[in-house]
Every structure is written in structure tokens, then in C-alpha cells.
Amino acid sequence: MFGYNADAIVTPCEPGVVRRVLSWSDEMMMCEISFEKGAKGNFHHHPHEQITYVAEGSFSFTIDGETKTVNKGDSVYMPPNAEHGVTCLEAGKLVDVFHPKREDFLRK
């Protein structure tokens, strides 16, 4: 019922990007992704729905060929199988929610 950041599964992703898996159930998962300025989340797609909240910083998101800048307090929706990627414009953190959970994030 409670997730503690100190207990989170921490995974280095691309250079300058670190993911923390915070909480999950079979139906959903929440992660915190920390980015250094200029770091990228490379283009990819997955069958999960994803909603991202910008907790800190500024980011350029591209989703299925459409690019927009989002800032602290903004959010983004990625439909299942949508190709998406992100570039960090100002160091920050994203909070990603996935439906269903990302099994691949739980494997070490």
C-alpha cells in the first residue's frame, strides 16, 4: 500500500537518465524518471497506455511524429503502441503511469 523512494528499484537507462519504479499492481505502475539537461529517452513503443506528469523541468516530447514542449505541471498521454521519445531541455523529473504494469521494469 505504501511505496518508499528509498526502496525503489533504480535502473540507469540512457546516458543521463535514471528510472525508479515506485509502486505497482497488476493493472498499473508508477515510475519516476530523472533526466539531466540534454538527456534523451530514445524512441520506442510498447503495448501499455502511458500518462506522464512533468514534476520538474522542461521536455520536448515527440509522439507519433508530433513534437511539443511541456513544462513543470504539464502532462502527456501516449496511447498503446504509439512511437514516442523525449529530450530534456531543462534538468527535471517525469512521473510515468503505465496500464497495465511494465513487467520488463521489474526484471533486474
List residues bridging with 5 in a β-sheet: none
Q: Is residue 50 part of a domain?
A: yes
- Let me know: does 29 contact 102? Beta carbons within 8 Å: yes
Let me know if residue 2 belongs to a domain.
no
Please tell me the predicted confidence (pLDDT) of residue 107.
80
pLDDT of residue 87: 98
More confident residue, 108 or 18: 18
Helix (H, G, I), strand (E, B) or coil at 101: coil
C-alpha dihedral, 97 to 64 to 81 to 104, nearest 10° = -50
Within a domain: residue 4? no
In the predicted model, is pLDDT for residue 53 greater than 80?
Answer: yes
Residues 9/23, Cβ–Cβ less than 8 Å: no
Residue 36 falls within a domain, yes or no?
yes
Tell me, yes or no, whether 1 lies in a domain: no
- Number of domains, the chain: 1
Do 89 and 40 form a contact (C-beta atoms < 8 A)? no
- Stated pTM of the model: 0.93
3 domain residue, yes or no: no
Instruction: Report the CATH number that the domain containing residue 90 is assigned in CATH.
Output: 2.60.120.10
Does a structural domain hold residue 52? yes
Find the domain containing 26 and state its range: 9-102
